[in-house]
Amino acid sequence: SYTVLKGPPVRFRLEGDHVRDLWRFWRIIIPSSIITLVLTQTNTVIMARFFPMDELGKFSIATTLSAAVMGVSTEYVMRVFFPRFAEANRSSTEQAKEIYYSCRRMVMLFFAFGIGGLIGGGELLIRILYNEEYLGTGIYLSLLCLTPLARLISLPAEQAIITRGFIRVALNANVLRLGWIAVAGPIAYIGIGPLALIAVFCLAETAALPYFLWHLKRYDLLDLREESYLIGAMLVGAAIGYVCYMASEALIASGALPNF
């Protein structure tokens, strides 16, 4: 396009200050992105290595469903919560603290309740969406939903901490997640088996939560009561999901409900 458009010649040139600014950003983001890639893809490699093809297919279905859940909650945080918090943070720190929870409270409670329902009743959703050949996918869906559940707390915290100027928080959190897998993974695999190793990967986000909560306290943003509401909504959703799943199984077993 530069050769077609008329005007003065355009030449490639490095501007020192811009290069240094980009390098300070890249040296944190690139290692963090590499670790994220490892964390998100390794569980699929493990499934391909240790599980038969039919189980890998079920796992792929569960991954697709959990990714949809993750995508919706992530979009809300990045497109609604983060801009509002960043704007409030530029105005005053007190306003930012108020916005941090008021902006996400009801939406995150709804997400926590829904994700809890999938954790408790994942197999019921599989019955509704697929035929009985895919039963058994629910256990993978329940495990995989542990990650988006933890992200309801960690992702807003991460964005708020970055807004306050501590960009390195993303890299440090990824190192903690990787360390959790490196320590707990072999123990789970040797002691229980491959499925336990998958569970370790799904709990990696939970392992980083204390780090995020500590930084929220450091920046005077933490309200443990607000965070506990998410846990309560999740437990209610999980209980309702599990009861609905068990009730449907009982009705199918008694013949009152046709198998589906």
Q: What is the largest CA-CA distance in the chain?
A: 82
The pLDDT of 153-172, averaged and rounded, is 91
Residue type, 161: I
Q: How far is CA 2 from the centre of its chain?
A: 42
Helix and strand tally (H, E) in the chain? 12, 0
Residues 14-33: b if buried by 16+ CB within 10 A, e if exposed:
eeeeeeeeeeeeeebeeebe
Q: How confident is the model at residue 70 (pLDDT cuts 50, 70, 90)?
A: very high
Question: Count of alpha carbons within 13 Å of 252, Cβ hemisphere only?
Answer: 12
pLDDT for residue 179 is more than 90? yes
User: Which pLDDT belongs to residue 199?
Assistant: 92
Q: Give the C-alpha separation, 201 to 197, whole Å.
A: 7
Q: How confident is the model at residue 53 (pLDDT cuts 50, 70, 90)?
A: confident
Supply the pTM of this predicted model.
Answer: 0.83
